[in-house]
Amino acid sequence: MNILCWNCCGLGNPQTEQELGDLIWAQAPLVMFLAKTWLDKARVETIKVRYKFGGMIEVSRVNKEGENEWRFTGFYGNLDTNLQHETWEKLRRLKNKYSISWVCAEDFNEIAKAHKKLGGRPRPVKQMEAFRDVDECGFKDLGIVGANPENFEHVLSVIPTIVTPELNNMLSAEFVKEEADEALKQMDPLKAPGLDGLPPLFFQNFWPTIGEEVSQAVLTCLKSARSQEFLDDSMVSSLIDAETGEWNGQLIDQLISPFLVQRINAIPLCKTSQGDCIVWPQSSDGNYTRACNEALPIVVNLYKRKILDSPLCCSCGKANETVFQALWECEKIPAAWGPDFNSLRKLPYQPLIVMDLICRLGQEGRKVELFMVMAWFIWCRRNKCHFNEPSIPVDKLLEAALKSLSEFQSKQRVGTTHQKPAAPKWQPAPKDTYKINYDGTIFSKLEEAGIGLVIKNERSEVMASLAEKVNKPSGGVEAIEAMAV
């Protein structure tokens, strides 16, 4: 329902009336409130008839600025309960601004009494108390109400039916997998990613592999409405019992689809506290490479920063140079990768970013290490060509990468044969004896030193201990340890 409120400051000239007609035509208001028209009742009646309004309430003008002036305010309360205090403060400022009569048509989005809440969760007492404090504005209920919530028949009888029985049956039907498939196809591939950090492109590209499981998870949420609250702030740590450090089986059964529960319970958990983070399983430290994050100084990035005049690839000059284009799509590159890697180009679902390509290599058991070395060689050659420096020919890159990787791996194998001896571990004292541990340390900045010792029995129970500051000896660490003895 549209309501048009306009303080027209005089409605007696043709230009203002034309402007009013344009507003009515554009907004099609059901109710129109005109203030300061400076017109008598007969002229207002003419406007009512011209624009085909069914009724009119007219308040006669006494004078332009007199004792019978009053003001009207349309007010809509903030839906965010954390900001409602600002709403009440605005009302107080409005009340104190003028001393003339005040009519406030409102939807405060708050109630003063709990019994006025119809259905849903109970309203917090503090919120209602804050609203009741607005009574200082002196508001009085004029008794004008809307439709009776228990008698909508008359209201609904004049509303045209839009949802047909056939459409209603379709909307009420069970969700099916095909709807999830169709929804994914309609998504823009590079739309902002969700909480998992993955854009629609990832799901579209790997849908043949993950589509069945993802669809089942989506259908479970839609049909049961159990997981919405959990998905709004989903973290792995939410599924772990903070006291035992084990999976919270009851919570998992409640929130997760049954076909995933067994897989989750099979994942071993670390006994120490670990924060959630995104990791890459093909590296020792779990960090993503700069190439995966599109963080390399590629031409497109430099073009966006207005450093270069063109985003085109400096090798082929035919396509915009992204990380993926420079390492994989450039027409000068396929000769470098060799038949084993180039077979990926024949797959029905082609990767579109470096991360997808590495994921595909890992899934098919390809040589991820060799791919990373090759990517480094290609990038280095690209930089040398850009600055007109001598570089390895394209058809020799794979050979150079294999040699470099082989040398690296051989060094790694040699290094593993020389293991450091295990550090000695503290052992408890033999039965009926005591063990004394002592040490000394020097605080160079304070020019001070300290010694300490602890005496334990055969059950590792502390029998006595000592810690004492001493003057810094001239003999260094050896001297302070000798003092401790």
What residues contact residue 191 under an 8 Å CB cut-off, 6+ apart? 199, 200
What pLDDT sits at residue 155?
Answer: 59
| Helix 177-185 vs helix 207-224: crossing angle, to nearest 10 | 120
* Residues 6+ positions from 188 with CB-CB distance below 8 Å: 200
- Among 345, 322, 334, CA closest to 374: 334
- Per the document, the length of the chain is 485
Confidence (pLDDT) at 154: 64
Report d(CA 337, CA 327) in Å as an integer: 10
* Nearby residues of 328 by Cβ (< 8 Å), 6 or more positions away: 337, 351, 354, 357
- What distance in Å separates the CA atoms of residue 413 and residue 411, rounded to the nearest whole number? 5
Q: Which two tokens stand for residue 483?
A: 């003092």
Distances in Å between the Cα of 135 and the Cα atoms of 72, 83, 113, 122 are 18, 19, 13, 22
Q: How many CB atoms lie within 10 A of CB 366?
A: 17
Amino acid 440: pLDDT: 82
Q: Give, for all 485 residues of the chain, the pLDDT tens digit.
A: 678 887 777 777 777 888 888 888 777 888 888 877 777 788 888 888 888 888 888 776 655 555 567 788 877 777 787 787 788 888 888 877 777 778 877 677 777 777 666 666 777 777 877 777 776 677 776 655 554 555 566 656 767 777 788 888 888 888 888 888 888 888 887 776 665 667 788 888 888 888 888 888 788 777 765 544 444 445 677 778 877 878 888 877 776 666 667 777 778 777 666 655 555 554 555 555 555 555 667 787 788 777 888 888 878 888 888 888 888 888 888 888 887 777 777 766 666 677 777 777 776 666 788 888 888 898 888 888 878 888 888 888 888 888 888 888 887 655 444 555 666 666 777 878 888 887 888 877 777 888 888 888 887 788 888 788 887 777 777 777 777 76
Which pLDDT does position 386 carry in this prediction?
79
CB 16 within 8 A of CB 24: no
- 439 near 484, Cβ under 8 Å? yes
Question: pTM for the complete prediction?
Answer: 0.32
Long-range contacts: 6-9, Cβ < 8 Å, 24+?
6/32, 6/33, 6/34, 6/35, 7/35, 7/36, 8/34, 8/35, 8/36, 8/37, 9/36
The predicted pLDDT at position 448 comes to: 81
As a whole number of angstroms, the distance between CA 84 and CA 75 comes to 13
Tell me if residue 25 falls in helix, strand or coil. helix
- What is the pLDDT, as a whole number, of residue 309? 85
What is the C-alpha separation between 30 and 2, in angstroms, rounded?
6
